[in-house]
Each structure stands twice: as C-alpha cells, then as structure tokens.
Structure 1
Amino acid sequence: MRSVRARAALGATVVVALALAVAGLAVLLVLRANLTDQAGLQAEVTAREVAGQLALGVPYDRLETGDEEDHPVQVTDEDGRVVAVSKDLEAISGTGTDRVTRAPAPTPSPTPSPTAEDGDDDDDDGTDSPDPARGEVSTDDPDFANGTATVDGDRADYRFASVEATNAAGLTLTVHAGAPLAAEQRAVGSVRGAMLTGLPVVLLVVAGVTWLVTRRALRPVEGIRREMAAITASEDLSRRVPEPGSHDEVARLARTTNETLTALEASVERQRRFVADASHELRSPIASLRTQLEVGAAHPELLDVTGAVADTVRLQALAADLLLLARLDAGERPGTALLELGALVREEVSQRTGDRIPVTVSVPEEAGGLEVTGSRTQLARVVGNLLDNAERHAGRAVAVAVRAEGGGVVVEVTDDGDGVPEAERERIFERFVRLDDARTRDEGGAGLGLALARDVAVRHGGRLTVTGAGERGARFTLWLPDAR
C-alpha cells in the first residue's frame, strides 16, 4: 500500500480488531466463570441439603433431591458404590463413577454402646461423645467438576459439587449434585454472537472514519506537494507553498518549507550575484593585462612591466579570495590548531613593510590567555584584510589591540579616517560592496575583503562588527571564542 491513508486505516482497523478481540475474550471468560460459579453454588446447596438428610439418618430411598432434571444427584460410599441416585437419572459423567444403578448396601455393623467405664474415660479426657443417632456433614469446601447427565432421555451439561457426609452408622458418603450449565452456555453464546455480529460493523466504521480523518489531515500535504512540484518544474523560487490555518504538524511543515524556499531563493540569488560580480571584477584586470601584453608584443619598448605585474598580482589575490569564499560557502570546517592570537597579529604586522602608515600594536605582555582554535591561514587573512581596509581609509594612524574579553579574545583595528556611516555598517560586509563608487578599483579593491573576514569569523564561532572610533575613524572588532 503506497497510500498513507490506506496504511493508516488498515493499521487503525487492525489495532481496534485486536483490542476488541482481547476485550471480548476477556468478557466471555469472566462471564463464563461467573455463571459457572453460580451453577456451582446451586449444586453445592443441593449437595449439602442431601448430605444433611443423610446425616439425619434418612433412608436412601426416601431422600428428597428436589427437581431431578435441574439437579441430578448421585450418592456413593467409601468404596465408590452407588447407594442412591435421583429419579429418572439414566447416565452421568464427571462424578468419579458413571454408574447410576444402586448397589446392594452392606449391612452396617452395630454401633457399640458406650459403657460407664468408657464414659468415665471420656469425662476424664474432658471431651463430649458424639450423638450415636446422628451423623455430620463435612464443612470443607466441596470439590467441583464439569460433566454431563441424562435425565429422562435429555442429555445436558452440569456443574457438579461433591460434599461428604457421615451417617448415623459412621459410614462416610459422598453426595454428587449437579446444576445445569445451559444458562451459562446460552448467555455466553448470545454475547459471543453479538460480538461476532457487531465486530465487522465496528471495524468498518473505524476504517471509514480513519480514512476520512486521515484524508482531511493530509489534504494540506497534498497541496504542499503539488506546489513544490510546480516550483521544481518552473524553477521559480519566489513561489511559496500554502500554509494551513491550523497549528499542527502540517502547518509547521508548510512554514518550514517556506522558510527553506526563502533561504534557497536568497542563496541562489546570492550565487547569481556572486558569479556576475566575480565575472565583472575579473574582466577588468584580465582586459588590462591583455592590453598591456598586446602593446608589448607590438612595441616591446612600450611594455609596462610594472603595471602588468600589478595587474597579475591583483588578479591572483582576487582569485584567491573567490576560491576561499567558494570553500566557505561549501561548508568547509575551520581547522582545530591552537593559535596564540597576539603572536599572530605581531607576525602579520611585521610583514607589512610597505604600508604608507605605520601600525601601532598593543598586546599584553602575558599573552597566555589569548589562545584560540582555528585555521591559521584564514585568521591571518582576516587580520590582513582588516589592516588593508584601515590603511586604505586612515589619515595618519592605524592601531591594533589584542585583549581577552567575555570568554574570548578580541582584536580591534582602529583608523582615523572618515569612518563608516551608521546606516552602512552592515552593508559593508556584503560581497562586492564599495561605499565610494567613485574611487578607482585599484584604490578600492573588489569589495570582498570585509565580506570574507566576517565569513571566516562566523565559521570560527566568532563575530566581526564595526563601530565609530571617537569623532573620526572606524573601529573593527573581531571576537573569537577562547580555546579553553
């Protein structure tokens, strides 16, 4: 079954069927046990009535057994001989013997009369002598058994109770009295029939209701599926799936799907813009380099080697930035090397010998608490990009400070340039964004440095922000979590 509705309806039907079957079986067992116990109680009452007559010395042929058809009675002695049966009893089973013919009773031996000497002994023992003219009925719980009996040609099932009694002659007799199980069988049969008749109806209702409810619940899912198929066919990521007004799992699925589509649309748009901007940025140095090489090929004396090398270096740096951004977008995880950020900043500044403005470095003497984990190459690129940006816009001073703060390490790069307008402080971290559109590409770069720096910081679990530095200038703050 490929349909969720069909599987849900089948599963619910099977579960309900099993539950009803178990519950019905339990009801039948309890009903049968209760009715059987009632029949056993009736049989016990009859058996004790007959046993009481035997204890009083009533002759076997004068025993009153009540309704013989409803309560067949069989009396046996200690040797298992049948000494009395109820009227019209033709066959019996379940009482230990299936004989229904009275056996000749043996002549009981006379009961010795107590002598005076015996009476003295009894008085000495402090016990009372039993009345020789009267027997007794056992007070023990009777034995029960199921069997059959044929009374006046009608055979039926009975519940038999066996009670022992001692007559006046001291003979122990066992009275087997039965109570019919017809009522129990009729009741159990009626209940079983009602269950078997009602079970298919209940299962049909359960299957139908489950089918309808599941169909109604999954209708929004089908709408989501159709819309997603349409989006896939049209490649229009601006479309969204319908969101139901409910607050259940389907509504959450629709909202999550729309959020995914929004993120996917933004990612695709960013990728398209990235490709377009990269193509535009690469075209300029390539065109310039080609022009210089063509001029050099035609007029070697006019070849601008310095300009060609500069364009080649710029092209190489741009390609490296694009490659790193592509790796970051692909989800490349940063390294796990342990780095001392103060030493990394000192090393990066020491290599910048051609800067037009000297960089002031402030790092604590004891830099043991300035360790972070990550990629040394990528973090060095972040520091270098921040210094390049500061050198490009600074008037007379660029400063770098490293310190521990807030469970991490902070690197601050400050310049005294014109600063960044507050409304543009987030936009400058977008790719290929240059606030001064009038400046030349050689002076302004491609607009990838700050975007790359923030991406690397985020990948390392940190953040990169920009604020004002007093009355003039900008302060870029890089925060990275402490290695500890």
Structure 2
Amino acid sequence: MRSVRARAALGATVVVALALVAAGLAALLVLRANLTDQAGLQAEVAARETAGQLALDVPYDRLETGDEEDHPVQVTDEDGRVVAVSKDLEAISGTGTDRVTPQPPPAAPEKPEKPEKPEKGDDDDDRDDDDDGAGAEPGRGEVSTDEPDFGNGTATVDGDRADYRFASVEATDSAGLTLTVHAGAPLAAEQRAVASVRAAMLAALPVVLLVVAGVTWLVTRRALRPVEDIRREMAAITASEDLSRRVPEPASGDEVARLARTTNETLTALESSVDRQRRFVADASHELRSPIASLRTQLEVGAAHPELLDVEGAVADTVRLQVLAADLLLLARLDAGERPGNARLELGALVREEVSQRTGDRIEVAVVVSEPEPGGLEVTGSRGQLARVIGNLLDNAERHAVSSVAVEVRGARGGVVVAVTDDGAGVPEAERTRIFERFVRLDDARARDDGGAGLGLAIARDVATRHGGRLTVAGAGERGARFELWLPGPR
C-alpha cells in the first residue's frame, strides 16, 4: 500500500474501530451493571417483604411471595433445610441449595407453664402484677438490616427456566429461629437491553467506519493535492533542467506551504550554485587558455627555431598554470566542504614567517605584532590554508601599494585580528563586496600577468569562513585599503 491517502484512511479507520469497540464494551458493561443493580434492588425488596412476614410468625404455607414468576422465593433455616418456597417453583440454583421441596422443621421444645396470678386485694401483689404485666406486648421477630448477599442463578417456574438475580436476607422469628430468604428478580430485561444495544452497535459500526474511511480519504486527498502539484512541478524541472522554475506555494500557511517555500528556497540556492559553477568553469577555462596558448606558441617557435625559444617566458607561463591549478584545486576542496585542521597556531609567528619568505617583493613589508599575554594570539586551524590566506593578502597589498605595506597582528573580541594595509588606490565602497567573488578584477585594463586571476581574495574569504572567521575590507585613511582577517581563539 504505497498511497499515503490509503494508509491514512486505513490508519484512521483502524484507530476509530478500536476506539469504538473499546467505548462499546465499556458502555455495555456499564449498562449491564446498572440493570443488574436494578434487578438486585427488586430482589432485595421481595426478600425483605417475605422476611417481614417471617418475623411476624406468618406460617410458612401462608407466606405471600407476590408474583412467583417474577420473584421466586426460597426460605432456608440455620441448617440449610428448605422450609418454604414460592408457588410453582420447580428448580433453582445460585442460592446455596437446589432443593425446592419444603421439609418440616424439627419439633420445638415445650414452653413452661406460667404461674397463677395472685388474687386481687393484696396491694403489694397488685403492684407486682402491675409491674410484671402492665403494657407487655406479645413476642415478635426481626429482619436483619445488614446489606444482603447478591448472586446470579437460574430458576424454573411452571416449566419456564430463566436467569435471575438473587438477594439473600436473614430474618428471626419470635422463637429465635434464624431463617434466610432467597428472592430473585428476572434478568431477562437486562439481557434483552444489552443484546439490543450490542446489535445496534454492531450494525452501526460498519457504517461509521465507512464514513470515517471516506472522510479521511477525501480530507487527505485535498490536503495532499498541493504536494502532488509540487511533485509534478519538480518532475517537470528535472526533465527540463530549468532551475528558474518554481513550485506553487499554497496560501494555507500549513506544513505543505512551508514545504513548498523551502523547496523554492532550495531551488534558488541550487540555481545560484549551478550559475556559480558555470561561471567558474567558464572563467577557469578563460584563465587557463591564455597561459596555455602562450606556452604552446613558445614551444612551437622553439621547435621550429631553437635559437628563438624564450625559456624564461615558458617557465613563467608554466608557473602561472601551476599557481592557477593549485588555486582551482583549493577552491574545489573548499566547495566540497573540506574541514580545516585542528592544529594550534600562533598567528604572530606565522605572519613573520610568511613575510620573511617574500624576498623578491618590490615593497618591504612592515610587521607589528601586539602580544597582550602569552598564547593570546593562538588560533586553531590548518597551517597551510591560513598561510595561504596571509600570502594572498600580502600579494594583493603588494600589487596595489605605491610605497608601503604594513601588517598588524593583535588580539581582539575573543580572537585574533590580522590587518594588512597598503597605500594604493583603495577599494571603492560599492565594490567592497564584489572583490571577494571569484575571477573578479576591478581594473580590467590591468594585464593578467600583473593582476592575477582574481582568485586570491575569494580563496582568502572562503578559508576564513571555513575557520569560523571573517575577512572584510575598509578604507585606510585618505588613501589605500585595509583588509582585516578575524579568527576565533582556540576551541
């Protein structure tokens, strides 16, 4: 089942089915308990009515048990003998004994005769007689007020067998004999009600599930329609390779709308990346064509006329090709997400080392290193890449300076700053972002041999970014430019 709509509809239907089954079972249990309690209450009333008659010493064969079919009654004594049953009771279970034939009670002991009353006239005897006999009531039994015992069983009355709820109530007659009355109330109404509700639930369950499945299918289809539109548009973009197209964004503002917005942002970034890659390939091809053509020309002339071979020019073109190939390789590694190293470096020493190796520069570089405390100028990163950044900044400053280039290294804002300043023409404020793009040279008239390929500052900025730092440019007073490289301290 690969369709999201089908899975959603099936899942919703299963969940609703489980919920309805659980709710239905709970409702049936509650209904059955309530109806059973009502039957128990009816059985208790019938049992107490019979127990009240026993407490008044009504003879067993004259007990009024009401409707025998609705309330079968069984009376037992302390020894479990059946002493009375309701009319037409043929069988019973669930009361402790299944006997329905009354048994005669044991013979009661004879009561002692009362002494004769004294004759009237004796004042003391009259007072005694008044005290002993005045206001005396005949003896009577009592009905237990304790909670009766309940249980379920069956009874057969006049040939009809049915289920009953029995209540057991104790009563004591005037002779002190304890009797137990078992009276039942039919459970047929409870069973019919539960069966009716169960049948109604079972009949309604498929209808409810079909409605849930249909509504879920329609709602999911409507909700996923924008997703299908996005998929269709993405398929068209893939087929046409036209990254300028965008997927439709629904106005709902929900997760699908956010997905469409993110997809369009991804397409924008991908289009920009592809454009940059195409420009990079085109610019790289253009930059490589000149030294390769020059080198080929020199070699062809040298092959035809060895005495005219410009060895120094061929070496210079070869060096240019080597430097350009190294720059392109480094940019490719940076674009691939190469992580910088974790070596701890002291930037002051690294700057001094780079400056000391520049023996052929036309301008001498002045270096100022401020060390506020030991280890205050340390950073973490790749020594080769950071040395390349410093070298590129020095190359750029030496290329544009008139008479001076200065380098300052100092700690600042939780990191280290390397500032390279020259007294050249400076960078126009409108171009201070564009100069960090690849193959960009502000002076298009400058010869390529003198101006470079326009990759130095782009490499420096990318390396700084990979190290968690930044590279910016600003004016240096009335004349010149100031490039500042900030790198975070050791991590």
Taking structure 2 as the reference length, the TM-score comes to: 0.93
State the AA in 2 paired with 1:226: R
Counterpart secondary structure, 1:433: coil
Structure 2 residue 211 is matched with structure 1 residue 205: yes
State the AA in 2 paired with 1:234: S
Q: Match for residue 125 of structure 1?
A: none
The answer to whether the Cα contact below 8 Å between 1:418 and 1:472 also exists between their aligned partners in 2 is yes
Query: Aligned residue pairs: how many?
Result: 470
Alignment of 1:364-443 (within 5 A): 364-365=370-371, 366=373, 368-443=375-450
State the AA in 1 paired with 2:485: L
The answer to whether the Cα contact below 8 Å between 1:340 and 1:367 also exists between their aligned partners in 2 is no
Structure 2 residue 61 is matched with structure 1 residue 65: no
Q: Match for residue 16 of structure 2?
A: 16
Residue 297 (structure 1) shift: 2.2
Counterpart secondary structure, 1:32: helix
Q: Match for residue 301 of structure 2?
A: 295
The answer to whether the Cα contact below 8 Å between 1:32 and 1:184 also exists between their aligned partners in 2 is yes
Residue 188 (structure 1) aligned to one of 175, 194, 197 = 194
Residue 169 (structure 1) aligned to one of 165, 171, 175 = 175
Task: Report the more deviating stretch, 341-350 or 162-171.
Answer: 162-171
Residue 391 (structure 1) shift: 0.3
Q: Match for residue 333 of structure 1?
A: 339
Mark the CA change 1:469 to 1:214 in structure 2 (over 3 Å): closer, same or farther: same
Residue 451 (structure 2) aligned to one of 444, 452, 459 = 444
State the AA in 1 paired with 2:461: R
Q: Match for residue 118 of structure 1?
A: none
Q: Deviations over 1:278-306 (max 9, x none)?
A: 11111111111121122222222222222
The answer to whether the Cα contact below 8 Å between 1:295 and 1:302 also exists between their aligned partners in 2 is yes
State the AA in 2 paired with 1:231: I
Runs of 5+ consecutive residues of structure 1 not aligned to the other structure: 116-129
State how far apart, in whole Å, the 2-side matches of 1:312 and 1:2 are. 59
State how far apart, in whole Å, the 2-side matches of 1:284 and 1:131 are. 139
Residue 395 (structure 1) shift: 0.8
Q: Match for residue 456 of structure 1?
A: 463
State the AA in 1 paired with 2:20: L
State the AA in 1 paired with 2:41: L
State how far apart, in whole Å, the 2-side matches of 1:303 and 1:432 are. 31
State the AA in 1 paired with 2:6: A
State how far apart, in whole Å, the 2-side matches of 1:186 and 1:113 are. 60
Mark the CA change 1:111 to 1:437 in structure 2 (over 3 Å): closer, same or farther: farther
State the AA in 2 paired with 1:441: R
Counterpart secondary structure, 1:360: strand
Q: Deviations over 1:187-211 (max 9, x none)?
A: 2112112111111111111111100
Residue 246 (structure 1) aligned to one of 242, 252, 258 = 252
Q: Match for residue 124 of structure 1?
A: none
State how far apart, in whole Å, the 2-side matches of 1:31 and 1:403 are. 85
Residue 152 (structure 1) shift: 2.1
Q: Match for residue 165 of structure 2?
A: 159
Mark the CA change 1:292 to 1:113 in structure 2 (over 3 Å): closer, same or farther: farther
Runs of 5+ consecutive residues of structure 2 not aligned to the other structure: 116-135
The answer to whether the Cα contact below 8 Å between 2:389 and 2:459 also exists between their aligned partners in 1 is yes
Mark the CA change 1:208 to 1:13 in structure 2 (over 3 Å): closer, same or farther: same
Q: Match for residue 108 of structure 2?
A: 108
State the AA in 2 paired with 1:284: S
State how far apart, in whole Å, the 1-side matches of 2:70 and 2:183 are. 10
Alignment of 1:200-349 (within 5 A): 200-349=206-355
Mark the CA change 1:112 to 1:476 in structure 2 (over 3 Å): closer, same or farther: farther
Q: Match for residue 50 of structure 1?
A: 50
Residue 68 (structure 1) shift: 1.4
Task: Report the more deviating stretch, 63-72 or 251-260.
Answer: 63-72
Residue 317 (structure 1) shift: 0.6
State the AA in 2 paired with 1:414: T
Q: Match for residue 29 of structure 2?
A: 29
Residue 252 (structure 1) shift: 0.6
State the AA in 1 paired with 2:385: Q
State how far apart, in whole Å, the 2-side matches of 1:279 and 1:354 are. 30
The answer to whether the Cα contact below 8 Å between 2:439 and 2:454 also exists between their aligned partners in 1 is yes
Counterpart secondary structure, 1:483: coil
State how far apart, in whole Å, the 2-side matches of 1:57 and 1:230 are. 100
The answer to whether the Cα contact below 8 Å between 1:134 and 1:168 also exists between their aligned partners in 2 is yes
The answer to whether the Cα contact below 8 Å between 2:377 and 2:411 also exists between their aligned partners in 1 is yes
Task: Report the more deviating stretch, 85-94 or 327-336.
Answer: 85-94
Q: Deviations over 1:213-268 (max 9, x none)?
A: 00000000000111111111111111111111111110011111111111111111
State how far apart, in whole Å, the 1-side matches of 2:279 and 2:416 are. 34
Q: Match for residue 135 of structure 1?
A: 141
Mark the CA change 1:363 to 1:204 in structure 2 (over 3 Å): closer, same or farther: same
Q: Deviations over 1:66-109 (max 9, x none)?
A: 22111110001122221101112122111111221111222122
State how far apart, in whole Å, the 1-side matches of 2:198 and 2:432 are. 81
Taking structure 1 as the reference length, the TM-score comes to: 0.94
State the AA in 2 paired with 1:254: A
State the AA in 2 paired with 1:137: V
Seq. identity, %? 87
Counterpart secondary structure, 1:447: coil
Counterpart secondary structure, 1:134: coil
Counterpart secondary structure, 1:10: helix
The answer to whether the Cα contact below 8 Å between 1:110 and 1:169 also exists between their aligned partners in 2 is no
Counterpart secondary structure, 1:412: strand
State how far apart, in whole Å, the 1-side matches of 2:11 and 2:358 are. 73
Residue 111 (structure 1) shift: 5.4
Q: Match for residue 133 of structure 2?
A: none
State the AA in 2 paired with 1:193: A
Structure 2 residue 151 is matched with structure 1 residue 145: yes
Residue 151 (structure 1) shift: 1.7
State how far apart, in whole Å, the 2-side matches of 1:112 and 1:216 are. 98
The CA RMSD over aligned residues, in Å, is: 1.6
Counterpart secondary structure, 1:281: helix
State how far apart, in whole Å, the 2-side matches of 1:131 and 1:256 are. 99
The answer to whether the Cα contact below 8 Å between 1:47 and 1:161 also exists between their aligned partners in 2 is yes
The answer to whether the Cα contact below 8 Å between 2:166 and 2:183 also exists between their aligned partners in 1 is yes
Mark the CA change 1:290 to 1:350 in structure 2 (over 3 Å): closer, same or farther: same
Residue 331 (structure 1) shift: 0.9
Counterpart secondary structure, 1:107: coil
Counterpart secondary structure, 1:354: coil
